[in-house]
Chain A
Amino acid sequence: MIEIEHLTKRYGAAAIVDDVSFRVEEGTVAAVVGTSGAGKSTLLRMINRLVEPSAGRVLIDGQDTMAIPEDALRHRIGYVIQGYGLFPHRTVAENIATVPRLLGWDRRQIAARVEELLDLFGLDPAEFAKKFPHQLSGGEQQRVGVARALAARPALLLMDEPFGALDPVIRHKAQDELLSIQRRLGTTVVLVTHDMNEAFHLADRIAVMNQGRLLQYAAPAELLTRPAEAFVEQLVGSAERPFRLLSLMRVQEAVEPGTAEGEPLSVADTLHDALSRLIWLGREVLPVADASGAPVGRISVSRILAHGRARA
């Protein structure tokens, strides 16, 4: 768990980050969003002390980060930046081994860990371990960047626009992959992004920042239904709101008893996906099946629409 308390960064008279406090629970993903210059990156970089706070403090599992030597602190925190910053003179395996090597793991332990991570990210060790970063595609570089950050099994992962350099198709896949790995490892993630879709897709809670201040820190659905300020409403996009809300909910929540004709939807699909299928097929209802394929009921356009409405 990480607690950010009254964190402030001033350069001269200007406060880049102004008295920000919030808490990220163990094993969850928090996204920090805002326009550029809102202080998102500075906030993130104060967590691993790449930027020294002017005031306030950060607690990781109750321990003040100022009490830990800088380098030791960073060895414990995974860090992924836009463009990844892979070392061009080192192979993929050497890049991933960076922090374990700094920590003085023995050679066999490192080799085993590198292989494990390459497997985890779907990169064949025989093919990729010896490659250099410039021989990789953007998507592969991104995976190596995240694998490198996770090498020493950090409990906390900081990500600054980690998907910013990827094209939309690969980006979506990379986000899903990150989410599944995060769920599997139980890593706490703080992610900075200016892409609202990304924030809604990945985050358990979203922190909205503007001009250094934290405007709202809430679950995605709450941000949509109860935006704290006009700026938040504007940022999440009022026209997009119902659709964003639907994409946060699963078919499971709107399924009703009964049967219908057609190819069944899965309970795990989002309501957004379900509505899109219904519109496309010109149907009022479609059957719903659970993960094993057994029918569990049906879903209708009207039920979905009801879920996309603001609830007082």
Chain B
Amino acid sequence: MSLRSSAPRVAALLLLVAFVTAPQLFSFAFEPLTANNAPAIYNQGSLLSLTLSHLRIVFLATLASTMLALALGIFVTRPSGHEFLPLSRSLVNIGQTFPPIAVLAIAVPLVGFGEKPTFIALFLYGLLPIFENTLSGLTGVSPQALDAAKGMGMSPRQRLFQVELPLALPVILAGIRLSVIISLGTATIGSTVAAKGLGEVIIAGLQSNNVAFVLQGGLVVALLAVLIHDGLGIAERVAARRSGRPLDEAR
């Protein structure tokens, strides 16, 4: 990657790090947005620790979604699991159609306030992109390569790990990336049920009618999303190159 194309990314990363570690440095930029001598910078907790909690819950939820969606995607593309494809599809689709806020409302009475209901909402919401991409990745593997693999005496397990998954990897990664980005934004609503995260900053701003807070929370989430999107995009391109596709063909 050339220096010029990576320069904005590096700048965004530096900006983000500087802002969450020493937000006071930026108070001059937010002061014009405040009224009645309200604080310009979020003062009810450390932005750094909120950011880390936010990332942590997104990471854990995506990890869980990935494991289940990947396992399910692999299972329904095997001959033995083929008949479960429609069922799995509907289940995963339900996970996506249920609004996360509704999931929170249902989950709180069951598991209590805090991170757990947020985790459940993000987990369900993140399944679909990963599952669908796993499916299309695995079914998109060249039938000739599969036939050759079988004809050379690879066992089903060897075919899966040596041929199918490596070739499907770029598409699966694209699904994970989509899921992470959705979760990063969605996780902010977790703060309504007392999960620690950047949603706290936004909600505090909304409650005290402080635009500066809302903007700060939103800005950090947005920067995180852009940077993670880019980072995973690079990983995808590396995987695509490894799977023998020319760069421009991989998204």
Pick the residue among B144, B158, B246 that contacts A134 (CB under 8 A).
B246
- Interface code A98-115, partner B: CB below 8 Å = 1, 0 otherwise? 110010000000000000
Report the bound CA distance from A167 to B152 in whole Å.
26
Which residues does chain B contribute within 8 Å of A148, judged by CB atoms? Answer: 152
B interface size (C-beta, 8 A): 22
Cβ-defined contact, A71 with B148, below 8 A: no
In the complex with contacts A88-B244, A89-B244, A102-B148 CB distance below 8 A = no
Q: Is A81 in contact with B152, judged by CB distance below 8 angstroms? A: no
Complex: how many Å from CA A311 to CA B146?
Answer: 48
* Docked-complex contact B153 and A74, CB < 8 angstroms: yes
**Structural contact, B145 and A88, CB atoms closer than 8 A:** yes
Q: Is the interface of B mostly helix, strand, loop or mixed?
A: helix
Say which residue of B144, B152, B246 sits within 8 Å of A102 (CB atoms): B152
The tally of CB-CB contacts under 8 A between chains A and B is 72
B243 on the A face (CB < 8 A): yes
What sequence of 0s and 1s flags, for each residue 139-158 of chain B, a beta carbon within 8 Å of any chain A beta carbon? 00010111111111111001
Asked whether A83 lies within 8 Å of B144 as measured between CB atoms, the reply is yes
Q: Shortest distance in angstroms between B191's beta carbon and chain A's nearest beta carbon? A: 43
- Taken together as a complex, chains A and B put the C-alpha atoms of A73 and B151 apart, in Å, by 10
B150 / chain A contacts, CB cutoff of 8 Å: 50, 74
Shortest distance from the beta carbon of B101 to any chain A beta carbon, whole Å: 42
| Cross-chain contact A85 with B149 (CB below 8 angstroms) | yes
B153 touches A88 (CB 8 A): no
> A85 touches which one: B145, B153, B158, B246 (CB < 8 A)?
B145
Given contacts A81-B144, A134-B244, contact A87 B153 (CB under 8 A): no
Expressed in whole angstroms, the Cα–Cα distance for A149 and B148 within the complex equals 9
* Structural contact, A133 and B153, CB atoms closer than 8 A: no
Which residues of chain A in 106-162 are interfacial with respect to chain B, using CB atoms and an 8 Å cutoff? 132-134, 148-149, 158
A-B CB proximity, top 4 nearest: A85-B148, A88-B244, A74-B153, A79-B151
